[in-house]
Structure 1
Amino acid sequence: MAKVRRKKSTTIIIITILLAIIYMQLSTSIPDILPDLDKEDAPPVTGIHPVVLDQKNKLVAKVREIGIKIIITDGYRSDEEQNRLYKQGRSTEGDIVTNAQAGESMHNYGLAIDFALQLKDGSVIWDMEYDGNGNGRSDWMEVVAIAKDLGFQWGGDWTNFPDYPHLQIDFGLTIRDLKRGKRPPVDSHEYLEALK
């Protein structure tokens, strides 16, 4: 009798472990088929987050102090714009510029910007080696260093699809969090302070 009970207990434990493994796989690899139990109602995002905007303005001012002028080529993107960019190089003309469809980019949540260098004649370049201020260092990488000091993460650090003009502040939120309706507070400067 004791042998039968042990066998039943072992079987129940194995089945429980297998069910837990299956649930974890489904919840991480196929989140869209599971109910969004933790989905929050959030107002639609229609522009760049105020803290990201503030840090962007500081970035533009700080790089100007060292003789570098940048322009912000992109900020908040609507779902329509994101899908248009995603199609580029796939079903429409041009080079592939993003792997993110609508809702999959930090731009869609107002948490990212893209930049380029602007020359004295007004032309815009994406040359990562250019040293326009003549200090022996790449202007691009000087911008990146200042951006990181301001709390931005740089897309050039990504290994699977480096995005060299991309800067973002995610406030510790993932795309999955954002899709489920989580948003950083409007005044999130304490997050940036914690990074220092």
Structure 2
Amino acid sequence: MQLNKRSLDNLVGVHPDLVRVVHRGAETTSVNFIVTEGVRTLARQKQLVASGASQTLNSRHIPGGPANLSHAIDVAAVVGGQVRWDWPLYEKIAVAMKLAAQLEAVPIEWGGDWRSFKDGPHYQLPWSSYPG
């Protein structure tokens, strides 16, 4: 699949290693997706925490590090032109993204692998490799 303009726009300001993974993942996925968010402001993060959609203000979406880049993205599965939130779709996207990360030699973390707050749309570069 090809990333649409909205997805490409939402990758502006995201660390180039993660951008490479997203492009490669889009090439290999069995489920179409869009990138819904890359760079996020602290004000937006506070809104998400207040609504329960996030649990931290220390988000990898908020730009940081020497280059002031975001280290996270969120995606949404698209089926028949409609955004879908069915968990199995996100597991399939994760397979493609993890393979893409391996092929690009870029470590990533998928929010769906987290123990306490499962976040299927979320991918980030790990703090240990990208302290930003």
Bigger fraction of residues in helix? 1
Distance 1:142 1:69 in 2: 10
Task: Name segments (4+ residues, structure 1) moved above 3 Å.
Answer: none
Aligned residues, how many?
Answer: 109
For residue 171 of structure 1, report the CA deviation from its aligned partner. Answer: 5.8
Which TM-score applies when normalising by structure 2?
Answer: 0.72
Question: 1:9-158 residue pairs with structure 2 within 5 A?
Answer: 47-63=13-29, 66=30, 68-88=31-51, 96-101=52-57, 104-109=58-63, 110-120=70-80, 122-129=81-88, 139-149=89-99, 150=101, 151-158=107-114
Distance 1:171 1:74 in 2: 19
CA offset digits 1:131-168 (Å, max 9, x no partner) = xxxxxxxx422211121221321111111212121111
Distance 1:47 1:171 in 2: 17
CA offset digits 1:53-88 (Å, max 9, x no partner) = 12111112221xx4x211111111111211121222
For residue 123 of structure 1, report the CA deviation from its aligned partner. Answer: 1.0
Question: 1:162-173 residue pairs with structure 2 within 5 A?
Answer: 162-170=118-126, 172-173=128-129
Distance 2:47 2:53 in 1: 11
Task: Report which structure shows greater RCO (CA 8 Å, sep ≥6).
Answer: 2
Distance 2:16 2:129 in 1: 16
For residue 124 of structure 1, report the CA deviation from its aligned partner. Answer: 0.2
Q: Please tell me whether the aligned partners of residues 90 and 120 of structure 2 are also in contact (alpha carbons under 8 angstroms).
A: no
For 2:20, the aligned partner's letter is D
Q: Which sections of structure 2, spanning at least 5 residues, go unmatched?
A: 1-11, 64-69, 102-106
Distance 2:98 2:24 in 1: 12
Which TM-score applies when normalising by structure 1?
Answer: 0.50
Q: Which sections of structure 1, spanning at least 5 residues, go unmatched?
A: 1-45, 89-95, 130-138, 178-182, 184-196
Distance 2:48 2:14 in 1: 18
For residue 173 of structure 1, report the CA deviation from its aligned partner. Answer: 4.5
